[in-house]
Amino acid sequence: MNERIRKLRKTLDLTQTIFAERIGLKQNSIALIESGKRNISDQAILSICREFNVNEEWLRFGIGEMFKPISHNAIDALVQQNSLTDSDRILIEKFIFLKPELRKIFADYILDTAKALQAQQPPTIKPVDQTAIGGELHEKCPKTAEELERRYPPLDNIDLKDA
């Protein structure tokens, strides 16, 4: 199980410290668990599964997929209850599948933009902690609005139902 915990942490692109904090442990506990020098408690296993949407069978025995499938029933209910469009659904699904660190960065940017709009000021763009996202995403992102439009020109009359 220690190798699966290491694999999960690496897949989530988390340091031992951040991974440990998210499940209520200390970094040295995760290091000992990953190295096989300490057994993991049932409570820690359940915390990992809950916090990171991990399939408990995979974590304990290596059976099945690493992550539990997202409940499309829950998304369907959300779409129906709120009369959401197909575009809304796609936006929600894409957001849900982001790594937790990227969701936080995205949410922080949206909140900052909303505050700036309320104050009628351009949003401040905070530097991204490249270690939090492996640096790759930051390098791929357009740096200016002009670069964004050059790389991804606006589309007229797009029908997302066929996308």
CATH of the domain at 9: 1.10.260.40
List the one residue out of 87, 103, 100 whose CA is nearest residue 23. Answer: 100
Residue 152 lies in a domain: no
Same domain, 8 and 47: yes
- Residues near 161 by Cβ (< 8 Å), separated by ≥ 6? 86
Residue 160 lies in a domain: no
| Tally of domains in the chain | 2
Q: What is the pLDDT of residue 123?
A: 59
Q: What is the pLDDT of residue 33?
A: 95
pTM of the model: 0.48
Same domain, 36 and 55: yes
Provide the domain limits for residue 89: 70-113
Q: What is the pLDDT of residue 163?
A: 47
Q: What is the pLDDT of residue 23?
A: 94
Same domain, 48 and 9: yes
The rounded average pLDDT for each run of 10 residues, N- to C-terminus, in the chain (163 residues) is 94 92 94 95 94 93 88 80 88 81 86 86 63 60 79 66 52
Q: What is the pLDDT of residue 35?
A: 94
Q: What is the pLDDT of residue 89?
A: 86
Same domain, 58 and 97: no
Q: What is the pLDDT of residue 126?
A: 67
Q: What is the pLDDT of residue 159?
A: 59
